[in-house]
Structure 1
Amino acid sequence: MTHEANVSERLRDLDEAAFAARYGADRFTVSVLANRLQYVVEHMCSGLLTNAFSLILRDWYDFAATVSGPPESGYPMSSVSNSLAVFFGTMADGLRNTVEEFGPGELAPGDLLICNDPYRTGTHVNDVLFIRPVFHDDRLVSFVSLRAHQLDMGGVVPAGFSATKRDVYETGLVLAPQLLYHNEKPVRSTFNLIFDNARFGALLLPDIKTIHQNLRLGERLIVESIERYGLPAFLGAIRYRCDVSAESMRDALETVPDGVYEGEEQIDCDGVDDSVDYRVRVRITKVGRDIEVDLGGTSPQARTSINASVLDTKTAVGMALKLLLDPATPFTSGTYRPIDIVLPPGTVASAVPPDGAVFLFWEGSGPVLLAIFRALADALGERAVAGDFGSLSIHNANGLLPDGTPWVTTAQCGGEHGPWGATRHGDADNYSVPYLANNLDPATEAIESDVPVVVLRKEYVADTGGAGTHRGGAAVMKDTLWLAPAEHWSSPLHTKSSSGFGVHGGRSGAAGATWLFDKESFDVAGNADLLGIDDSVYASSTPVAGVLDPETHVRDLDNGRYFYFASTPRWCTEPGAIFRYLTNGGGGWGDPRRRDPEAVRRDVRDGYVTVEGAASHYGVVVTGDPESDPEGVRVDHEATSRLRAGSMS
């Protein structure tokens, strides 16, 4: 039976005897063990990160680790790594589903259990969940797990990243719960199943071996802890961490005014055509120290693989409330105790097989988080958080080198990194990952060493961050030059409007777009400069996605038309082609006219805001030329006072 503390009792108010009775040891010992559990997951991740072979693990940190308790306690997840939130949020339920289906009584020391089915474990088929049971004195007492992205798991698209796949049979190999290792020995049939279906086996095999060894490390560290402190203290530490998270979330919810709040976020379309847009709608009911998040008004599941599973959406709900209300305490399965989620099956946020294909799951679950941010913005007031750049606009390319060696990119050359929204604490970061992720940005040198591409540009674009007392992050422009023939799948799924909405009086950031320039429209070899950024360059481009002027192909949300991202499902290019991705801008926080003029001057100097934008968005008159003399830029305080007085009257 799952142990749950009496919610009316405060953990800090327990006397030593009551604490020891509940958690099997004194406070100091339980605290030491609780922190050691965190050390275990980080140690496993460090081992994988520094020994991984495939670029998606080595350069993106596309994995996560957890420690969970035994079946009789309900598989409580007490510790998660400092890595992908979209992973560890699904791993508690994914582990439970996998072990229960396989049978906990069928597990033995030295086993490694795997599953990658999105509907059982969340995320997508490339993200294999590796689970190692931990035994002590022949008793199953814990689990260590790693979910790690495998470079390829078969399917119709190499590496898998595409919004155009229509069912589970196209997304890739599905592994039901099964053993990969038994008694420390590889299970040949499982390895054969994977490598008979997956591309790039030469990279997958050493990665799988590395994962296996790091799970063995995690198991050893846990067994050592049990032998030193005793099993009751170890199990108590797991319960304690979960109880702390539950109490902390309840306390945080109590600070939100009781009421009913609604929010909505969009996905442009799916990979069939642009006739259907998708809406994620949340209705939040907050009473006391409990909250219900109802997604009953969300659009039906998409016709292609942009859907999220139930577990992905559960993760998004938990992370949204954690980021908004309770960011300082550990995320565990206890976080969800005061949260009820109402989610009917068959929506874009709760797809069901076989037609509700799941691959770009973050495009279905990310809007859940943003819809919650929108819904609670007014209730939170100055504590509200503005929207980020939303869609990863992920780019997936592959081809052959001259010697016949296959290559593939995964989430390196699109709009995968971009700005956050501003908060009461200050301006937003300009270059990060969406709120639901937490990974690395691959180094340019690593990208160019692995695939035939040159990263020509990664820079911020002026006047794209939402204006505010605190400015939203600036949109990121990335240009990539392809040196070899290649086929590409491009998936910008949030360009019809800005995902970077402003809060507390802040303005929204700009909407992004994607373009393709072939060698005939711009030949890098024949030009002394890079592809320009002025509006005139876009007329010769082929629009990939965005709301653009039909003639000039410049962004125009007011009068432009939408260019559908999958109008060409697969882009085939010759050497010399350039893809340009422009992310959405982050939202601003607070009234822009209350921004410190000196901060606006610095923004102009640093290229985040133009001289014209300073006047029109912030009411600040800036003199000087930021291009030729950035340190000579000054604020005309008298003219600024007049401008702000006129605009605020």
Structure 2
Amino acid sequence: MLDPVTLAVIQAGLQQVCDEMDLTFSRAAFSPVIAEADDRSDGIYSAEDGSLIAQGSKGLPVFVGVMQFSTRTLIERIRSGETAAPEPGDIYIVNDPYLGGTHLMDVRFAMPFYRAGQLYCWLSNTGHWPDTGGAVPGGFSASAISAEQEGLRLPPVKLFKRGQMDREIWQIICSNIRVSEQRIGDVQAQASALLVGAERLSGLMDRYGDAQVTEAIAEMRGLATRQMRAMLADVPEVAVTARAVVDSDGVVDEPLIIALSLRRDGADVVFDFAGSSRPCMGPMNSVRATTLSAVYLAVRHVFPDVPISAGAFEPLRVTGIEGTFLDAHYPRPVSGCAAEVSQRIAEAVFAALVQVFPDRVTAAPAGTSGNFGLGGHDPDRGRDFVMYQISGGGYGGNAAHDGLSNGCSTIGISKAPPVEIMEQAFPVLYRRYALHEGSGGAGQHRGGFGLDYEIELLRGDARASFVMDHGRTGPQGVLGGKDGAVNRVEVMRGAEVWVPPHLSKAQDIALQPGDRVRVRTPGGGGYGDPAARDPALVAEDVRLGRYTRAEAQRLFGWTG
């Protein structure tokens, strides 16, 4: 048996391999969404069943479970003969949501890693491509009613064969996506990250020996399982219930309900989603892999000290999703599943767990990635462009302090690209970039504030699309705290102000030079009774302009 020090060193070494892959991917990528916003993740996965061995500390949490499922699907297809068997130097590409994925824009690469001529494990990564075809630039078609309207769907195929790119497959991809000439930089970056990972993993195994590393991986998995079970031991056998709401599916203007019943069953914890809404017509369906990953990441938020390993997920059983919009099958559209529905799932998990672990769990965070796609032609540069803007929001208050303002989304560490980078890359000007004042939910510890930004199109013509959420209801407050403010979208053409009928979702909005789009993202929910808030903290918020005096009096009963 490994001594604890060696185990800890190998565990840290495996994570460092993934961290270097992440860093390589971001530094070499062309697109701001990867290079600046870090919308990507890298990991190491079992050759036997695709289970997670290690993931980078700076990778998107939602991809933790998803790449586990996509790697497992790849292995199963290779064994069945549906997909060609791997050889050294091969790299597979896949973005099919129904094969263990998210939405089409999250493109996954997987590379076999060999030791002594035998397949030892898989290295895999996911990067958000700015466009994969479909009805609208950027892929977030708010009105899609089938998968074909969302873009090019790729089953697992070898994009690189024995180290060389398959030009025919690449030409097929380029013929079906916008600004294809700009994608080669992202592809090479994604492949390079895997090659760096292979080199670093080889070095680690050369140093400690294959047998010791293999033993460490098994021990890490078992340790993670035991730790997660210990953490969840206080979950009662009597069910705790919660729910979350999706504004609409973008087509039918009715809310979608996520119903959750949480209980302990022996050593496991069951997350039962029976009673959630049925599959929807629009793109707010979630595929099974994303739904399970959303549960995993929500629990990881609450118990971050448990090692990142497949073992951490073994005590978590997800049931009741069959026949609901949380278990989408082809051809249901799913562009909103990873960026939006997954965060509503996490919100439901938080709302249930806060009843059991009030000192550990926060009120609901903003819970939307604020997906804003803008595509058109830049006459000054003589080329087309596709711009993808993500944005942060307020975190929920918690037992110890107020929520963070303008934090990244629940599902990841992706941050909005710097304004200067976006203005340099695209024909836009940011007229406003500030906190969404007044948006934090009132509470003893208030929610953080969302973001308020406004973009003007400078030249050419363009089309805008939005797939966001929390436009109908704000993020939930807990234990007497109030909900955060809702998401708001406005399109301004001169004196005319247009608000999407679905509030947070719209597509194909024509823009001309001078037209502007303003987005105000949600604030986090409040934690605890607002009347119990320290009046000095309320006064400080008023002094800084975070709340008006009238808001402070109404929300907190402030008399200052």
* TM-score bucket (shorter structure): over 0.9
* Other-structure match for 2:515: 577
Tell me: CA distance 1:152–1:424, structure 2 relative to 1, closer, same or farther (3 Å). Answer: same
For 2:197 and 2:365, locate their aligned partners in 1 and report how far apart those are by CA, in whole Å: 35
Tell me: CA distance 1:153–1:202, structure 2 relative to 1, closer, same or farther (3 Å). Answer: same
For 1:344 and 1:369, locate their aligned partners in 2 and report how far apart those are by CA, in whole Å: 15
1:543 aligns with 2:520: no
Q: Which moved more, 1:139-148 or 1:455-464?
A: 455-464
1:392 aligns with 2:369: yes
CA contact (8 A) 1:465 1:588 kept: yes
CA contact (8 A) 2:441 2:525 kept: yes
SS in 1 for 2:401: coil
Q: C-alpha deviations, 1:112-134, integer Å up to 9, x for none?
A: 12211101121112211111111
For 2:202 and 2:256, locate their aligned partners in 1 and report how far apart those are by CA, in whole Å: 48
1:307 aligns with 2:285: yes
Any residues of structure 2 matched to 1:633-648 within 5 Å, and which?
none
CA contact (8 A) 2:453 2:518 kept: yes
AA in 1 matched with 2:258 = V
SS in 1 for 2:159: strand
Q: Which has the higher contact order (CA 8 A, sep 6+)?
A: 2
Q: CA deviation at 1:491?
A: 2.6
CA contact (8 A) 1:249 1:322 kept: no
SS in 2 for 1:56: helix
* Other-structure match for 2:13: 36
Q: C-alpha deviations, 1:351-399, integer Å up to 9, x for none?
A: 1111x11112132222111112222332333433101112333211111
AA in 2 matched with 1:130 = F
AA in 2 matched with 1:542 = W
Any residues of structure 2 matched to 1:164-563 within 5 Å, and which?
164-274=143-253, 276-287=254-265, 289-324=267-302, 326-354=303-331, 356-361=332-337, 362-403=339-380, 404-412=382-390, 416-484=391-459, 485-498=461-474, 500-519=475-494, 521=495, 540-544=496-500
CA contact (8 A) 1:253 1:288 kept: no
AA in 2 matched with 1:45 = D
Q: C-alpha deviations, 1:1-29, integer Å up to 9, x for none?
A: xxxxxxxxxxxxxxxxxxx1xxxx43332
* Other-structure match for 1:65: 42
SS in 1 for 2:236: coil
SS in 1 for 2:500: strand
AA in 1 matched with 2:449 = A
SS in 2 for 1:398: strand
SS in 2 for 1:378: coil
- Match 1:592 to one of 515, 530, 552: 530
With normalisation by structure 2, the TM-score equals: 0.94
1:156 aligns with 2:119: no
Structure 2 gap ranges (5+): none
* Other-structure match for 1:605: 543
CA contact (8 A) 1:453 1:481 kept: yes
AA in 2 matched with 1:171 = E
* Other-structure match for 1:26: 3
Any residues of structure 2 matched to 1:617-636 within 5 Å, and which?
617-622=555-560
SS in 2 for 1:447: helix
AA in 2 matched with 1:497 = T
Q: C-alpha deviations, 1:533-552, integer Å up to 9, x for none?
A: xxxxxxx522225xxxxxxx
SS in 1 for 2:455: strand
For 2:509 and 2:65, locate their aligned partners in 1 and report how far apart those are by CA, in whole Å: 34
* Other-structure match for 1:616: 554
Q: How many residues align?
A: 553
For 1:598 and 1:295, locate their aligned partners in 2 and report how far apart those are by CA, in whole Å: 42
* Other-structure match for 1:633: none
SS in 1 for 2:452: strand
With normalisation by structure 1, the TM-score equals: 0.82
Q: CA deviation at 1:564?
A: 5.0
Over aligned residues, Cα RMSD in angstroms? 1.9
Any residues of structure 2 matched to 1:83-98 within 5 Å, and which?
83-98=59-74
Q: CA deviation at 1:300?
A: 1.3
For 1:343 and 1:118, locate their aligned partners in 2 and report how far apart those are by CA, in whole Å: 20
Tell me: CA distance 1:384–1:56, structure 2 relative to 1, closer, same or farther (3 Å). Answer: closer
* Other-structure match for 2:118: 139
For 2:330 and 2:246, locate their aligned partners in 1 and report how far apart those are by CA, in whole Å: 20
Q: C-alpha deviations, 1:15-71, integer Å up to 9, x for none?
A: xxxxx1xxxx43332221111000000001111111111122112111100012221
CA contact (8 A) 2:262 2:270 kept: yes
AA in 1 matched with 2:4 = R
SS in 1 for 2:365: coil
SS in 2 for 1:141: strand
- Match 2:30 to one of 53, 59, 66: 53
AA in 1 matched with 2:547 = V
CA contact (8 A) 2:242 2:259 kept: yes
Q: CA deviation at 1:232?
A: 1.2
Tell me: CA distance 1:140–1:478, structure 2 relative to 1, closer, same or farther (3 Å). Answer: same
SS in 1 for 2:478: coil
For 2:38 and 2:423, locate their aligned partners in 1 and report how far apart those are by CA, in whole Å: 18
Question: Identity, % of aligned pairs?
Answer: 28
CA contact (8 A) 1:98 1:115 kept: no
Q: C-alpha deviations, 1:304-342, integer Å up to 9, x for none?
A: 222211010001111122222x12232221111111111
CA contact (8 A) 2:130 2:387 kept: no
CA contact (8 A) 2:131 2:386 kept: no
Q: C-alpha deviations, 1:75-98, integer Å up to 9, x for none?
A: 331211222112222111111111
Q: CA deviation at 1:291?
A: 0.6
Tell me: CA distance 1:223–1:588, structure 2 relative to 1, closer, same or farther (3 Å). Answer: same
CA contact (8 A) 1:69 1:238 kept: no
For 2:192 and 2:42, locate their aligned partners in 1 and report how far apart those are by CA, in whole Å: 13
For 1:38 and 1:139, locate their aligned partners in 2 and report how far apart those are by CA, in whole Å: 22
SS in 1 for 2:108: strand
Q: C-alpha deviations, 1:606-637, integer Å up to 9, x for none?
A: 22222223333223332xxxxxxxxxxxxxxx
For 2:525 and 2:130, locate their aligned partners in 1 and report how far apart those are by CA, in whole Å: 33
* Other-structure match for 1:638: none
Q: CA deviation at 1:187?
A: 2.0
SS in 1 for 2:28: coil
For 1:461 and 1:106, locate their aligned partners in 2 and report how far apart those are by CA, in whole Å: 52
CA contact (8 A) 1:387 1:586 kept: yes
* Other-structure match for 1:627: none
Structure 1 gap ranges (5+): 1-19, 522-539, 546-562, 623-649
